[in-house]
Copies of this chain bind each other. A is one copy, B any other.
Amino acid sequence: MIYRRKVNFYETDAQGIVHHSNYPRYFEEARGYYLEQIGYPYERVREELGIDIVLIELSVKYKKPLFYGDEFEIDFHISHMDRFVFSFDYRVKNKDGLIAEGKTVHTCLDRKTRKIVSIPDILRVK
């Protein structure tokens, strides 16, 4: 799936580039877009299923910087899923090529008990 975005000024830092802490936020936006596209926006996951999706691992490799106003896309997909854990892989690209690669790993928690629950079927759609 492709999620498109443009760099906001407040995402830059005094090196003149996007601060690295924004990439995990971009990935989160992409996951939100994914849930919308499969018809199950995260608001519904939280309220109807009573589940919080939590992030347990994050990794990013930064290849080239992004600058204010840059248009970029995140090419991403679910790269792993078992009963309790699933992962997304991300490739951030713009017209100049690969900007960054990332991976996030997630589990689902019951919002009341804060215990891990098995991943709901609705998230298993390919």
Contact = CB atoms under 8 A, between A and B. Distances in A.
Contacts of A52: 15
Interface of A: 8-10, 12-17, 19-22, 24-25, 28-29, 32, 41-43, 52, 54-62, 67-69
Given A9-B32, A43-B68, A68-B43, A54 B21 contact: no
A60 B62 contact: no
Contacts of A16: 14
B21 A8 contact: no
A14 B12 CA distance: 5
Q: Chain copies in the assembly?
A: 4
A53 to B, nearest CB: 9
Contacts of A15: 52, 54
A32 B13 contact: no
A61 B16 CA distance: 25
A54 to B, nearest CB: 7
A9 to B, nearest CB: 6
Given A62-B56, A62-B57, A42 B13 contact: no
A9 B13 contact: yes
